[in-house]
């Protein structure tokens, strides 16, 4: 299951991402927001990231205006490795090398066709493991991570 969430600035992309997940036959849980009315990104990013941390959801996609706030919030959650991706190459590397389990997008900074490609690549790219596994273990051994 994939957690999906946004604030008002990412609402349109979240709705498009839900349609994409439906097309890909991937189940998801929508953590909101449920309208384009102004709201605060932590109210939606945190519960979505928490669901990944607890194992309720395997991965997450969290969208705000720039992606930065959602990324900061997501990375405060234990066992979450959130990656703010602006290109498909960043999405691929975030999965291959960092085993990112939350994808953050900036709804105001990338066009939808690029965001769609980022999502598809991110969802389909496996973690390489090997030398990268050691690095992931080091991330989570740091205090508060």
Check 8, 57, 64, 85 and give the catalytic one: 64
Listed residue (118, 128, 69, 57) closest to 98, CA to CA: 128
> Which residues make Cβ contacts (< 8 Å) with residue 49, sequence separation at least 6?
3, 60, 62, 73, 74, 76, 77, 80, 82, 102
Peptide bond between residue 117 and the one before it cis (omega within 30 degrees of 0): no
Please identify which of the residues 8, 57, 85, 97 carries the catalytic annotation. 97
Helix ranges, 2-130 (H): 11-23, 42-54, 68-75, 88-96, 112-124
Is 64 part of the annotated catalytic residue set? Answer: yes
Residue 132 annotated in active site: no
> Active-site positions?
64, 97
């Amino acid at each position: 299951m994939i957690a999906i969430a946004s604030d008002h600035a990412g609402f349109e992309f979240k709705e498009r991402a839900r349609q994409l997940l439906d097309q890909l036959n991937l189940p998801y849980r929508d953590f909101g927001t449920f309208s384009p009315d102004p709201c605060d990104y932590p109210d939606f990013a945190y519960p979505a990231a928490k669901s990944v941390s607890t194992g309720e959801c395997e991965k997450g996609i969290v969208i705000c205006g720039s992606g930065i706030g959602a990324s900061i919030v997501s990375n405060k959650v234990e066992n979450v490795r959130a990656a703010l991706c602006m290109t498909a190459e960043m999405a691929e590397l975030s999965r291959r090398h960092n085993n990112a389990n939350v994808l953050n997008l900036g709804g105001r900074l990338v066009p939808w066709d690029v965001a769609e490609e980022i999502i598809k690549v991110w969802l389909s790219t496996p973690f390489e493991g090997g030398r990268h596994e050691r690095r992931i273990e080091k991330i989570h051994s740091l205090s508060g991570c």
